Amino acid sequence: VAWCTVLADGSVVAGVLRTVAETLYSTRIGMSSISGLGEVVVEDEISSFFESSPPLKNNDEIVEKLNLFINNYSGGRRIVCVTSGGTSVPLEQRCVRYIDNFSSGNRGAASTENFVKAGYAVIFLYRSGTCQPYCRSLPDDPFLKCFEFPDKTNIQVHASHLEAVKMAVMDQQAAIAEGRLLKLPFSTIYEYLQMLRLIATALKGDGPNSMFYLAAAVSDFYVPWKSMTEHKIQSGAGPLDIRLAQVPKMLSILRSNWAPEAFCISFKLETDSKILIEKATKALEKYKVHAVVANELTTRKEEVVVVSSSSNVLVRRDGDKPESIVEDNLILLIVDRHTTYINGFHA
């Protein structure tokens, strides 16, 4: 997981946090393997994570939207929850500073477009402010770059961006009107995990027709809400020393409990390509997901490896076509695997 701090005093905070986090990580791994009670420990950690989390502000509204969206699509159709963007970890309850996980949201947004194209209904659980489906061809600041004023009362799209804006608006409107796209934003690790649990619970009735495609970059460490200072941390007190707890791995409970019949794809990101496949294979075995998409930070837009119990498949973007993206081929493969899974389930 890539660590970086945001806002003022960043460099000092980053150095200290990294050291403490790494120490905690190795301590906890050691304890679990000695106790031999891995499953129980994980379930306890998960319960206490949720019990101590600040409640979701718009819980009822999210549940209502989810139920409406899921009930709106006729049985037998496929539905996928795509997670996208990084989770933030607040350092103060009235948050001024936070730790962030790297992710532009490109993978999630592009994958969503491809799932919709393949006939899926998509619940897009995304980090606020990250890349959105159908907006990848627009400039970073579309409002300032796409529009012009022929006179004071009219606004029109620059000819250079006309096609991109037209496609973005039309495709997004069609996906929403057809009940194929529900967008739910999160910011913190607390919001992300509570929303993921809500979605998984809501999708339980859809069994093997549902899929989780977990491309979000999820924090491994966090500050438990109750041990977090309420007000802004003061810099006058000198260097900062914060204890980070390990975020319990929700993948195992997602698979075993929240949505045991759903098809589940997780992602593994590394910066050292030498350990990538080994780490992805370990994750596959440990969390019993159906496949792990392994990617290396600098080449993630060119290629990924889909690691599963049957094979490791290298998926590349089509180098001959400039507009080709790796998600075009990746989603074709994942959809194919999902079909095999559904057929096997009913056999």
CA 326/CA 333 separation, integer angstroms: 11
At closest approach, how far in Å is the CB of 250 from ligand 9Z3?
9
Query: In the set 106, 112, 187, 209, which binds ligand 9Z3 (CB under 6 A)?
Result: 106
CB-hemisphere CA count at 13 Å for 165? Answer: 16
Q: Which stretch binds ligand 9Z3 (CB under 6 A): 70-78, 104-112, 132-140, 153-161?
A: 104-112
Cα three-residue angle 240-96-185, rounded to 5 degrees? 125
Pairing verdict, β 263-270 and 291-296: parallel
Other C-beta atoms lying within 10 Å of the C-beta of residue 335:
18
Q: Does 104 bind ligand 9Z3 (CB under 6 A)?
A: yes
Total site size for ligand 9Z3, rule CB under 6 A: 15
Other C-beta atoms lying within 10 Å of the C-beta of residue 12:
13
Q: Which is nearer to ligand 9Z3, 114 or 295 (CB)?
A: 295
CB-hemisphere CA count at 13 Å for 284? Answer: 19
Q: Which is nearer to ligand 9Z3, 105 or 248 (CB)?
A: 105
Structure tokens at 342: 């559904």
Q: Does 265 bind ligand 9Z3 (CB under 6 A)?
A: no
Q: Does 268 bind ligand 9Z3 (CB under 6 A)?
A: yes
Q: Does 257 bind ligand 9Z3 (CB under 6 A)?
A: no
Q: Does 1 bind ligand 9Z3 (CB under 6 A)?
A: yes
274: left (phi over 0), alpha (psi -120 to 50) or beta: alpha
Q: Which is nearer to ligand 9Z3, 70 or 253 (CB)?
A: 253
Q: Which is nearer to ligand 9Z3, 124 or 267 (CB)?
A: 267
Query: In the set 88, 103, 132, 209, which binds ligand 9Z3 (CB under 6 A)?
Result: 103
What DSSP string describes 94-134? S-S-EEEE---SHHHHHHHHHHHHTT-EEEEEEETTS--TT
At closest approach, how far in Å is the CB of 148 from ligand 9Z3?
31
Phi, psi of 97, rounded to the nearest 5 degrees: -115, 150
182 and 122 in contact (C-beta within 8 Å)? yes
Cα three-residue angle 136-219-337, rounded to 5 degrees? 60
Q: Which stretch binds ligand 9Z3 (CB under 6 A): 118-126, 157-165, 260-268, 309-317?
A: 260-268
**Binding track over 172-201 against ligand 9Z3, x by CB under 6 A:** ------------------------------
Q: Which stretch binds ligand 9Z3 (CB under 6 A): 101-109, 118-126, 152-160, 321-329?
A: 101-109
Query: In the set 80, 81, 269, 334, which binds ligand 9Z3 (CB under 6 A)?
Result: 269
Q: Which stretch binds ligand 9Z3 (CB under 6 A): 8-16, 103-111, 134-142, 239-247?
A: 103-111
CA 217/CA 9 separation, integer angstroms: 24
CA 113/CA 119 separation, integer angstroms: 10
**Binding track over 207-236 against ligand 9Z3, x by CB under 6 A:** --------x-xx------------------
Q: Does 291 bind ligand 9Z3 (CB under 6 A)?
A: no
Binding-site ranges for ligand 9Z3 (CB under 6 A): 1, 103-107, 215, 217-218, 266-269, 295, 300
